[in-house]
Amino acid sequence: MVKPLKKALNKEMTAGTDRTRCKPKEKLWSGRFKEPTSAAVESFTESISFDRRLWRHDIQGSIAHAHMLAAQRIITAKEADEITRGLESIAADITAGAFTFSTDLEDIHMNIESNLTSRIGDSGKKLHTARSRNDQVALDLRLYLRDEIRSIISLIQGLEETIVTIAEQHADVIMPGYTHLQRAQPVLLAHHLLAYVAMLDRDRDRFSDCLRRMDVMPLGACALSGTSLPTDRAMVAKQLGFRAIAINSIDAVSDRDFAVEFLAASAVLIMHLSRFAEELVLWSTEEFRFIEISDRFTTGSSIMPQKKNPDVAELIRGKTGRVYGNLISLLTLMKGLPLAYNRDMQEDKLPVFDTADTISSCLAVMTGMMPAITFNTARMKATAGEGYSTATDLAEYLVRKGVPFREAHSITGKIVFHCIKNNIGLESADLAVLKSFSPAISADVYSILDPASSVRVRTSYGGTSPGEVRRQIRHYRNVLKKK
C-alpha cells in the first residue's frame, strides 16, 4: 500500500468521532451527499499533487469562459470583471508561491474555484455555469500540450540547426559507413550526421500534425451533452486561439487521442535520439576512438581514476524506456473506457507530463552536448578504407566494363577472399592476380579502390559525394529558415 493512503487509513481508523467535531472543507459537489469523504478516498482520488501544473491554463480558460458568459448575459459584466480580477490575483499568488493547494479540494479546478469564491463571494459561484470539470480538464490539457508542443518543435529545430552546422564544419571528413555494425562503405561524416537531421525533420512534422489535430476546443460540451444555456463556444475558441471547435459534445470530453498522439510522436522522437546517443557511446569507446565528448558532458568513476563515461548519452538512451512506457500506459488506460468521461482519465496527466519533461530535457542536453564533441577525423579516415570497404566500388567498376552485376559481385567476393587469406588490402593486390579473376580488370582499377574516390563518385541523388552532401546541407538550411 502506498504510504499516503496507508497513513490516511490509519488516521481514519484511530480518529473515532473526531472527524465530526472537525468539519472538513465542503466539496463543491457535496449537495447530494450526507457523509464526508473517507480520508483514505481523499488521499486516493486527489490529483492536485500533479495537476497543479495546469493552473495557468485553467485560469486562462476560466477568464475566457467568464467573458463569454457576460457577453451572453448569463452573468453580468460586473461579475465577469470580479471573476477576472480574482483569477488574476490567484495567478499572481501562485507565481509568488503564496497559494496553498488543498488535497481536500481534489484537483486544480476545484482549488482555484473554491479560492476564487472565498475572495470575491457569490460571483465566484457563477463561474462554473455552463461547464463541467469534464470539458474543463479536456480544455486545460489541450492548452497545456499546445504550449508544450510548440516548445518541443522549437527544441527539435534547434537540435537540427546544431547538427547541420557541425555537418557543414566537417563536410569533407571521410568515415566508415556501417551495416550490421560491420564496416560497409566509406561515407562522409556530414552525410552520416544529416541522416539524423532527416529523422528530426520528420519528428518536427509529426508534432506539427499533432498540434493541428489538437487545436480543437472542447469547452462548452459540459459533462457530455452540452447545455440549455445560450453559450457562444465560437467566442471562447477565438479568445483562446483555437482553430476549431469540437463538433460532438460526447467526443469532446472523452477524447484523449491528442494526448496519445503526442506520446506516440514523442516515442518516435526519443527513439531517434536514443539511436544517436548509442552511436555517440560507441564512437567514444577506445575501440572506435571517433570522438571525444567534452568533460562538461561526461562523468568519472568512483573507483577507476582513468574513466571518462558518456553518461549523458547513456541517460538519453535509458530514458527512452520511460517514454515508451508512458505511451503504453495511456493506450492501456483508454482501451476499455465506455463513453463518455470516466475517472480513469485522471491518470492521463502523469504520462503526458513526464513525457513532455523528459523529451524536452533530452533535446536541450543533446543540443548542448553536440558542439562540445571533438571528432577524431584522422582516425575516421584511417578506418574508412579498412574491412575491404571499397569492394562495392570494384564490383561497379566491373559493371562499367560490361560484366553483369551478379558476375561482378561473385568475382569481387573471390578477390576479397583471396586478400583476406593473404592478409592484404584490395589496393595492395597485384594486378596480375586481379586479372586472373577477370580479364576486364586493368591498371585503372587502383584509382577506384581509395576511400576518397569511393566517396567522390557516389553522386546519385541523396548519396555521399561531397557535392550531394553540400546540396543536402543547403536543403536543410532552407527548410529550417522557413519554419
The pLDDT, as a whole number, for residue 38 is 79
What amino acid occupies position 327? L
Is residue 8 predicted with pLDDT exceeding 50? Answer: no
pLDDT band at 15 (very low <50, low <70, confident <90, very high): very low
What average pLDDT does this structure show over 191-208? Answer: 98
Is residue 151 predicted with pLDDT exceeding 50? Answer: yes
Please check whether residue 139 is in contact with residue 434, taking contact to mean a CB–CB distance below 8 angstroms. no
d(CA 409, CA 449): 15
Is residue 301 predicted with pLDDT exceeding 70? Answer: yes
* Nearest C-alpha neighbor of 105 from the set 47, 35, 23, 60: 47
Catalytic residue set: 180, 301
DSSP character at residue 347: G
DSSP character at residue 299: B
* Nearest C-alpha neighbor of 188 from the set 465, 474, 472: 465
The pLDDT, as a whole number, for residue 35 is 77
d(CA 430, CA 434): 6
For 141, the grid coordinates are 490539457
Q: What is the DSSP string of 434-470?
A: HHHH-TT--GGGGGGSSHHHHHHT--STT-SSHHHHH
The pLDDT, as a whole number, for residue 153 is 98
* Nearest C-alpha neighbor of 141 from the set 130, 149, 153: 149
pLDDT band at 7 (very low <50, low <70, confident <90, very high): low
The per-residue pLDDT of the chain, averaged, comes to 93
What average pLDDT does this structure show over 28-39? Answer: 70
Angle between helices 55-71 and 108-120 (to 10 degrees): 60
Using alpha carbons, list the distances in angstroms from residue 294 to 82, 171, 318, 353, 375: 55, 21, 20, 31, 11
For 251, the grid coordinates are 467526443
What average pLDDT does this structure show over 266-285? Answer: 98
Neighbour-count burial for 285-322, b at 16+ CB within 10 Å, e otherwise = eeebebbbbeeebbeeeeeeeeeeebebbeebbebbee
Cell 584511417 belongs to residue: 382
The pLDDT, as a whole number, for residue 30 is 64
The answer to whether the predicted template modeling score (pTM) of the entire model surpasses 0.75 is: yes
Q: Which CATH architecture has domain 391-449?
A: Orthogonal Bundle (1.10)
What amino acid occupies position 293? I
The pLDDT, as a whole number, for residue 12 is 41
pLDDT band at 17 (very low <50, low <70, confident <90, very high): very low
What average pLDDT does this structure show over 289-312? Answer: 94
Dihedral sign, Cα of residue 76, residue 79, residue 83, residue 89: positive
Q: pLDDT higher for 40 or 446?
A: 446
The pLDDT, as a whole number, for residue 28 is 61
d(CA 360, CA 190): 25
Is residue 57 predicted with pLDDT exceeding 60? Answer: yes
Domains of the chain, by residue range, sit at 3-125, 133-226+243-382, 391-449
What average pLDDT does this structure show over 465-479? Answer: 97
pLDDT band at 29 (very low <50, low <70, confident <90, very high): low
pLDDT band at 61 (very low <50, low <70, confident <90, very high): very high
The pLDDT, as a whole number, for residue 13 is 34
The pLDDT, as a whole number, for residue 315 is 97
pLDDT band at 22 (very low <50, low <70, confident <90, very high): very low
Please check whether residue 96 is in contact with residue 117, taking contact to mean a CB–CB distance below 8 angstroms. no
Which CATH number, 1.10.275.10, 1.10.357.10, 1.10.150.20, 1.10.760.10, labels domain 3-125?
A: 1.10.275.10
pLDDT band at 44 (very low <50, low <70, confident <90, very high): confident
* Nearest C-alpha neighbor of 64 from the set 136, 148, 118: 136
Rg (CA), the chain: 31
Cell 566491373 belongs to residue: 398
Cis peptide before 440 (omega within 30 of 0): no
pLDDT in tens, 374-415: 999 999 999 998 999 999 999 999 999 999 999 999 999 999
Q: Among 86-90, 169-173, 186-190, 386-390, which is the least confidently predicted range?
A: 386-390
Indicate the fold that domain 133-226+243-382 takes in CATH: Fumarase C; Chain A, domain 2 (1.20.200)
Is residue 24 predicted with pLDDT exceeding 70? Answer: no
- The burial class, CB within 10 Å (0-12 / 13-18 / 19+), for 163 is buried
